[in-house]
Amino acid sequence: MTKHFAIAGLSVLAAIGSLDASAQAAKTTKTTAVNSNGTSSDFVTTAVPFLRITPDARSGAMGDVGVAISPDANAQYWNVAKIPFCEKNYGISATYTPWLKDLVPDIFLAYVAGYAKFGKDNDQAVSASMRYFSLGNINYTTITGESAGTGMPREYSFDFGYSRKLSEYLSTGLTLRYIHSAIASGVNYSPGNNYKPGNAASADLGVYYSKRKELTDGKARTLNLGAVVSNLGTKISYNSTRKDFIPMNLGIGAAYTTELDEYNKFTVAFDVNKLLVPALNSSDTQLSVVSGVFSSFSKGDQIKKLDLSLGLEYWYQNQFAVRAGYFYEDKANGDRQYLTCGLGIRYNVFELNLAYLVPQGAGITRNPLSNTLRFSLLFNFDKIEGGSTPDDTSNDAPPTPAGTPPPPPNN
């Protein structure tokens, strides 16, 4: 669907593009509103909030938990330190998410990730991912209704990670990321307008602990703990006068898995997330990244700034999964609250996951993320088979039956 915007609104398109991206990641550089009683109220907002949109269907079905649940290729986003604990040596994941589909049909997030383990006992891994967020097609107009060009606002990021085990139960990992944001591409600007696409660099640092205890009769218990600081990096700028924080975040998670027998497995997981972004006022806009992180802990009610996620997962024979979850954000911090559910199926090296965000509210109170679907396809395998060359096969011959005389020599 074609959307029309006035050039006068381009100065806030970072926030609006963020709002299109946001309802879930609706957090850009903190803004402060003044209530009728004269007190201030902080709402967390940042540039490039697409970096905080849950990229995969498994976590999306579990209320957006992911810091400490069992690892797969999507650990590149949640906590790269989990990857050395993956069951398989190689993994690839691809996810497609139509975004805000109840409002517009052409906004989407695409995500691809993969890893490869190596080293002694496969205790190290390299990984990478790419996410691409499209805001659809836009016809720009001036405040007088005249055409000002067309464009396809888009944002994307590339990252590369390295992780390794420190002991039998503990691992750590580091990810480096490049971010590009072109939220007003294709506009015919008036003289003096110096808009440019924004670029930034960031890093994630994570730790992960996993211990499994075998019991009797095929039963087992596994406790996973994780912590990650993500998107710790430079500010991003769309012009020569302003720089905004990106969504730096602290995530802490725990997951407990009970294997009831060889057929049934149940997991409960809980995540807590907090944006490491300061309030936006005359002094905080000039803060450095490090000072901004510390400032995020110094103002307001810190408990209300926490996002909480609870997820449940049941596996039958490690082939069929049922998932559910709940995401909670305080009213003073955005008021996103929703239920999620989903299914998973695994066969051989393939795994397919589906997530659905349950509709909530009606009319102007309807959650804009209602009916959000995510589709993820994963491939997990232990080795990459190499094909035989013609020279290799030329020497292959069927075995000679016992008792068969040798062929006569060539004269």
Residue type, 360: Q
Task: Please indicate, yes or no, whether the overall pTM of this predicted structure exceeds 0.95.
Answer: no
The pLDDT tens digits along the chain (411 residues) read 444 433 333 333 333 343 334 344 434 434 444 443 444 446 667 899 999 999 999 999 999 999 999 999 999 999 999 999 999 999 999 999 998 877 888 899 999 999 999 998 999 999 999 999 998 888 777 788 777 778 888 999 999 999 999 999 999 999 999 999 998 766 666 666 667 899 999 999 999 999 999 988 879 999 999 999 999 999 999 887 888 899 999 999 999 999 999 899 999 999 999 999 887 654 566 788 888 888 888 777 788 889 999 999 999 999 999 999 999 998 877 788 999 999 999 999 999 999 999 988 776 667 788 888 999 999 999 887 754 444 444 445 555 555 556 665 554
Scanning the structure block, which residue is given the tokens 């302003």?
242
Nearest to 357 by CA among 309, 304, 303, 318: 309
Nearest to 83 by CA among 228, 196, 182: 228
Number of domains present in the structure of the chain: 1
Q: What is the DSSP string of 5-60?
A: EEGGGGGGHHHHHHHHHHHHH--EEEEEEE-TTS-EEEEEE-S-GGGGS--SHHHH
3-state secondary structure of 297: coil
Contact 91, 75 (CB under 8 A): no
> What does the alpha-carbon distance between residue 3 and residue 213 come to, in Å, rounded to a whole number?
55
Q: What is the DSSP string of 279-291?
A: --STTGGG--HHH
| Residue 395 confidence (pLDDT) | 47
Q: For residue 391, is it within any domain?
A: no
3-state secondary structure of 386: coil
Q: For residue 282, is it within any domain?
A: yes
Contact 135, 20 (CB under 8 A): yes
Q: What is the DSSP string of 251-289?
A: EEEEEEEEE-SSSEEEEEEEEEEEE-----STTGGG--H
| Residue 25 confidence (pLDDT) | 40
Q: For residue 52, is it within any domain?
A: yes
Question: Could you tell me which residues are beta bridge partners of residue 312?
Answer: 268, 324
Q: For residue 51, is it within any domain?
A: yes
> What does the alpha-carbon distance between residue 389 and residue 380 come to, in Å, rounded to a whole number?
26
| Residue 365 confidence (pLDDT) | 67
Contacts 24+ apart (CB under 8 A), 196-201: 196/237, 196/238, 196/239, 197/238, 198/47, 198/48, 198/236, 198/237, 198/238, 199/236, 200/48, 200/233, 200/234, 200/235, 200/236, 200/246, 201/176, 201/177, 201/233, 201/234
Phi then psi dihedrals of residue 323, to 5 deg: -135, 155
Q: For residue 406, is it within any domain?
A: no
| Residue 56 confidence (pLDDT) | 96
Q: For residue 404, is it within any domain?
A: no
Name, in order, each residue with C-beta under 8 angstroms of 187's C-beta and a sequence gap of 6 or more. 7, 10, 140, 148, 149, 151, 195
| Residue 184 confidence (pLDDT) | 75
| Residue 391 confidence (pLDDT) | 47
Q: For residue 311, is it within any domain?
A: yes
Scanning the structure block, which residue is given the tokens 């590369």?
160
CB atoms within 10 A of CB 375: 16
Phi then psi dihedrals of residue 282, to 5 deg: -60, -30
- Which residue segment(s) compose the domain that 166 sits in? 3-291+304-384
* Structure letter (DSSP) for residue 174: E
Q: For residue 297, is it within any domain?
A: no
Contact 14, 21 (CB under 8 A): no
Q: What is the CATH number of the domain that holds 229?
A: 2.40.160.40
